[in-house]
């Protein structure tokens, strides 16, 4: 893909530097960093990419434009027979899909469209230098290189395009456009559906507040079964994940769990938040650690809970440990809010975090 150099990023292959102010692009997408010395690609690779191209959406445009910047591009367009085997639910004749591609490419140079009957043969057998793939199809690129290596051919450079996101921070796809969730530019056409894995009013309030500040939402809630009353250590994160199960028809699920941890500096209470979307992508955040007395840790390890200890120690109702211990200066709601926002950070800055995704 690319490797970092002193003044920016360098892809494998020829390049030249130019002393000027430019915007740095990585795999075709701007990360918004202005640099004085930037790497320019100066190569003419033989490039291949493939797809159905039932709809030419924003993600497809990113894919194709990136490929055209690398050299002469062969676009493998799924044949009618292949489409019937691969995606039988689609009624999109090859002739019509090819015409749409040609319309998009009409003012661009250095391309050809060929029919493909399987996802591997053309890239495996052909004389190419580079394969351009989306983030979602990168595993197919790895498979192509495995086959080429087995057949004694040189491996292809694989250029992976970061996820191209819609307004709802989920990847743009033809399926989502067909189902009228988004348009071809990624604009959301209906409310984002969010499920909270809790009946706790504070948790629901915080999630609704934060998500509705990003996009229009519909929110629901449920309570998972088989949860420990007082999680300890890593069980906290496990239970937050259990709470973050995405129900059918929902876009996101949020699981929030409060647990007790013990380190050399002493025991503490902490909120964990897990946000999972319908693609399976999961992000985790946590709130501040609230110090606890060692005597409380011993009682919790013997079967008590923070809720019970708070009730035994304080006569009036307390929102949480942090509310009690800080004399109301910090609310549990603040800790939950911090955890949820921390879990959102990789999603709000996915150009920086996408390489960390499995």
Q: Is pLDDT above 90 for 37?
A: no
Residue 162 has a CB neighbour count (10 Å cut-off) of: 21
The CATH number that domain 44-178 falls under is 3.40.50.620
The CATH number that domain 192-356 falls under is 3.90.950.10
Least confident of 9-18, 46-55, 166-175: 9-18
Q: Is pLDDT above 90 for 195?
A: yes
Q: Is pLDDT above 90 for 314?
A: no
Extract the runs of DSSP E, i.e. beta strands, from 122-233: 130-134, 157-161, 192-196, 217-221
pLDDT at res. 315: 58
pLDDT band, residue 2 (cuts 50/70/90): very low
The β-bridge partners of 41 are 15
pLDDT band, residue 140 (cuts 50/70/90): very high
What's the mean per-residue pLDDT of the chain?
86
In tens, the pLDDT along 213-242 reads 999 999 999 998 888 888 999 999 999 999
Q: Which distant-in-sequence residues (6+ apart) come within 8 Å of 218 by Cβ? A: 191, 192, 193, 194
pLDDT at res. 350: 86
Q: Is pLDDT above 60 for 12?
A: no
pLDDT at res. 229: 84
pLDDT, mean of residues 182-211 = 96
Q: Which of 52, 61, 50 is nearest to 186 (CA)?
A: 61
pLDDT at res. 125: 95
Exposed / middle / buried, residue 147 (Cβ in 10 Å: 0-12, 13-18, 19+): middle
Q: What crossing angle do the helices spanning 306-313 and 294-301 adopt, rounded to 10°? A: 130
Report the alpha-carbon distance of residue 62 to residue 27 in Å, rounded.
9
pLDDT band, residue 323 (cuts 50/70/90): confident
Report the alpha-carbon distance of residue 252 to residue 256 in Å, rounded.
13
Q: Is pLDDT above 60 for 21?
A: no
Q: Locate the domains of the chain by residue range.
A: 1-43, 44-178, 192-356
pLDDT at res. 328: 86
Q: Give the position of tokens 């892809």.
A: 11
Q: Which distant-in-sequence residues (6+ apart) come within 8 Å of 214 by Cβ? A: 169, 344
Report the alpha-carbon distance of residue 227 to residue 177 in Å, rounded.
37
Fold equal for 44-178 and 192-356: no
pLDDT band, residue 318 (cuts 50/70/90): low
Strand order in the sheet with 111-116: 111-116, 71-78, 45-51, 130-134, 157-161
Report the alpha-carbon distance of residue 94 to residue 83 in Å, rounded.
9
Better-predicted residue by pLDDT, 25 or 85: 85
Better-predicted residue by pLDDT, 17 or 163: 163
pLDDT, mean of residues 329-352 = 94
Q: Are strands 130-134 and 45-51 parallel, antiparallel or unpaired?
A: parallel
Q: Is pLDDT above 70 for 141?
A: yes
Q: Can you read off the two tokens belonging to residue 20? A: 């000027």
pLDDT band, residue 73 (cuts 50/70/90): very high
Helix (H), strand (E), coil (C) string for 209-245? HHHHCCCCEEEEECCCCCCCCCCECCHHHHHHHHHCC
Report the alpha-carbon distance of residue 345 to residue 287 in Å, rounded.
13
pLDDT at res. 90: 86
Tell me phi and psi for residue 57, to 5 degrees.
-100, 180
pLDDT band, residue 44 (cuts 50/70/90): confident
pLDDT at res. 357: 64
- Asked if residues 320 and 337 have their Cβ atoms less than 8 Å apart, the reply is no
In tens, the pLDDT along 47-72 reads 999 999 999 999 999 999 999 999 99
Report the alpha-carbon distance of residue 110 to residue 248 in Å, rounded.
44
pLDDT at res. 100: 94
């Amino acid at each position: 893909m690319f490797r970092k150099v002193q003044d920016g990023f360098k892809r494998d292959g020829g390049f030249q530097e130019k002393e000027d102010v430019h915007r740095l692009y990585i795999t075709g997408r701007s990360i918004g960093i202005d640099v004085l010395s930037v790497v320019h690609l100066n190569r003419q690779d033989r490039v291949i990419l493939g797809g159905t191209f039932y709809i030419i959406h924003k993600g497809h445009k990113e894919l194709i434009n990136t490929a055209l910047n690398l050299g002469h591009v062969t676009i493998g367009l799924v044949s009618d027979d292949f489409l019937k085997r691969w995606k039988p639910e689609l009624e999109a004749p090859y002739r019509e899909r090819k015409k749409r591609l040609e319309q998009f490419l009409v003012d661009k140079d250095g391309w050809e469209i060929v029919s493909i009957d399987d996802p591997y043969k053309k890239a495996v057998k052909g004389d190419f230098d580079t394969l351009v793939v989306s983030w979602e199809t990168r595993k197919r690129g790895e498979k192509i290189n495995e086959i080429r290596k087995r057949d004694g051919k040189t491996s292809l450079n694989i250029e992976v395009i970061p996820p191209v996101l819609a307004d709802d921070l989920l990847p743009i796809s033809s399926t989502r456009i067909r189902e009228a969730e988004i348009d071809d530019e990624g604009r959301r056409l209906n409310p984002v559906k969010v499920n909270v894995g809790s009946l706790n009013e504070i948790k629901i309030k915080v999630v609704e507040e934060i998500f509705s500040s990003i996009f229009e939402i519909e929110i629901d809630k449920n309570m998972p079964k088989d949860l420990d009353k007082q999680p300890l250590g890593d069980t906290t994160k496990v239970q937050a994940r259990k709470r973050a199960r995405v129900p059918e028809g929902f876009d996101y699920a949020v699981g929030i769990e409060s647990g007790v941890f013990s380190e050399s500096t002493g025991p503490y209470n902490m909120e964990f938040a897990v946000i999972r979307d319908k693609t399976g992508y999961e992000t985790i955040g946590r709130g501040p650690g609230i110090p606890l007395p060692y005597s409380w840790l011993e009682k919790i390890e013997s079967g008590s809970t923070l809720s019970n200890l708070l009730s035994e120690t304080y006569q009036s109702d307390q929102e949480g440990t942090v509310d009690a211990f800080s004399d109301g200066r910090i609310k549990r709601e603040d800790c939950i809010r911090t955890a949820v926002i921390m879990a959102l950070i990789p999603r709000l800055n996915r150009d920086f975090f996408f390489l960390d995704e499995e």
